[in-house]
Amino acid sequence: MDRRKFLGTTALAGAGLVALPGCTTETRERVQQRADKRTDSVTAAGTVPAFEFDEVSVAALQKRMTDGSLTSVKLTDAYLARMDEIDSAGPKLRSVIERNPDARSIAEAMDKERAEGNVRGPMHGIPVLVKDNIDSADQMMTTAGSLAMVGTPAPKDAFILERLRAAGAVILGKTNLSEWANFRSSRSTSGWSGRGGQTRNPYVLDRNPCGSSSGTGSSIAASLAAVGVGTETDGSIICPSALCGIVGLKPTIGLVSRSGIIPISASQDTAGPMGRTVADVAVLLGAMAGEDPRDGATAASKGHVESDYTKFLDANALKGARIGVARNLAGFHPAADLAFETAIAALTNAGAIVVDPVNAPNLGQFDDAEMEVLLYEFKDGLNKYLAERGATVPHKSLAELIAYNTREAAAEMPYFGQELFERAEKKGTLGDAAYKKARALCLRLVRAEGLDRIFAQHKLDALVAPSNGPAWPTDHVNGDRYTGGNSSYAAIAGYPTITVPMGFATELPLGLSFLGTAWAEGRLIGLAHSFEQATKVRRPPRFLPTATTG
């Protein structure tokens, strides 16, 4: 999850919108001049060795393994060697917190199966990185980045890990993250964990990758694996995907199981796919989605799960689609505004029926209520998770974790504290009237009076808004300085959203979010793919050492 400061910044940015309806050439020039003055002039690119599998898609890798010119073992070895070059050395992205000692043996098994004529599907033999809050019953630990959780590996795979293994994926390793999915302190620095250190943004190394799925965003942008898995409570897939220039999909709550994932919120948590293209995300989602008896929320997905989301990859999907433009969710930065205008024009040129503007509710109406819900659900969910892990974790409750952090403050709290932990510990049970009132308010404002009303009133297929402003410099003294984002509506509603690259503020990626209503993943994948193919904005990172204000 991204901290509440992110939501506060988003609300303020929405109130200070720079509206550019019918943007003229003269207006565009003025906006570009402002952007040139306020965005970054970038230093020379860092030297990073060429890589055979840089930017190669899942489909292309699968094709090469099919024709015999590539094996899963060769691909796995290449990604591991690439980690040596640029993750633990060179630019030192620090995006991978632990490598899987079994990765090569899994790849060997997948190659053997292929040679025998048994190919499980489009993920067969494909290396995947997963976030370090997802249980894996192997030699790797599951710690949420916290030293307090270092010990014995989980006794059982998370359900989504079971699904990925069954699909033939090679679990390559665990990615670093904002410790405890960024729900320990309101002054935290995204991408930092006590166990993994600070993850860097591969586009400009002193800029933040956002969080909490920072390691997944950074590693996939840098081609350290074919695809990756992140988790989100509010922004933790969308923000790092956007700031790291990749595609990320936050599914409808219940489409993807949460069992075996260290929780924040039972009402908002979900895992989701992250990749360099919409097509890669579609492949991974098909391998992850499915009903799980261990997660009751997935019962609602019955009849909505697709085994193959690539069937929605239609380059003409935007033609005739009704797309609402949420102008009051822009205004983060002149460069982002300009990229948003260009994106709206691209939607129109692709044949979309653009409904402009469509105003979303003010985030400030439900910000406090959402935090109340998260504090209650975090305490309840984390204590249950720790109890289920039993002897494989050294601490059995949130209270014990607070005590550990206090004792080990030098290692665990060198930059920021644990005030969110402490606030959550003071909460009661989910039966409290305060919790029920806050949750009801969130649902009313975001669903009934928010997205449900907007989609019905304007007959929309999707709502679009900028995913983010440019990445900010990483700062362990002051913590994050978010430049804006629009993850909260879909997060609180439990609805899907997908971010796709829409432009750059010099070398800093900017994303466009497509929001939908429940179970609209297929439709959103089609629309995002159509936009991606029409614009082809993404370019690989250059590992620039810094960016200076012009």
Q: Which of 178, 190, 219, 236 is catalytic?
A: 236
Query: Which among 470, 457, 450 has a CA at the least distance from the CA of 515?
Result: 450
- Burial string for 291-314 (b: 16+ CB within 10 Å, else e) reads bbeebebbebbeebbbeebbebbe
CA triplet 249, 284, 300: central angle to 5 degrees? 65
CA atoms within 13 A on the CB side of 497: 34
In DSSP terms, 253 is beta-bridged to 256
Environment class of 28 (CB within 10 Å of its CB; exposed 0-12, middle 13-18, buried 19+): middle
Asked if 97 and 132 touch (Cβ cutoff 8 Å), the reply is yes
Asked if 4 and 420 touch (Cβ cutoff 8 Å), the reply is no
CA 498 to chain centre: 9
| Rounded Cα gap, residues 342 and 337, in angstroms | 9
| Rounded Cα gap, residues 398 and 406, in angstroms | 12
**In 135-194, at which residue ranges do the beta strands (DSSP E only) sit?**
170-175, 192-193
Specify whether 212 is catalytic.
yes
For 157, the 3-state DSSP assignment is coil
Specify whether 236 is catalytic.
yes
Q: Which amino acid is at 110?
A: M
Q: Which amino acid is at 408?
A: E
Q: Which of 186, 190, 212, 265 is catalytic?
A: 212
Angle of helix 278-288 relative to helix 159-166, nearest 10 degrees?
110
Residue 448: CB atoms within 10 A of its CB come to 11
Q: Take residue 332 and report the two structure tokens written for it.
A: 């983060």
CA-to-CA dists, residue 231 to 90, 145, 252, 482, angstroms: 28, 14, 12, 19
**Pairing outcome for strands 322-325 and 353-355:** parallel
Place of tokens 């510990």: 425
CA atoms within 13 A on the CB side of 212: 32
Residue 53: CB atoms within 10 A of its CB come to 19
CA 12 to chain centre: 23
CA 297 to chain centre: 20
For 356, the 3-state DSSP assignment is coil
- Output the furthest CA–CA distance in the chain (Å, rounded): 66
| Rounded Cα gap, residues 222 and 203, in angstroms | 9
Specify whether 241 is catalytic.
no
Peptide bond into 202 cis (omega under 30): no
| Rounded Cα gap, residues 101 and 99, in angstroms | 6
Q: Which of 131, 250, 379, 427 is catalytic?
A: 131
What are the residue numbers of the active site?
131, 212, 236
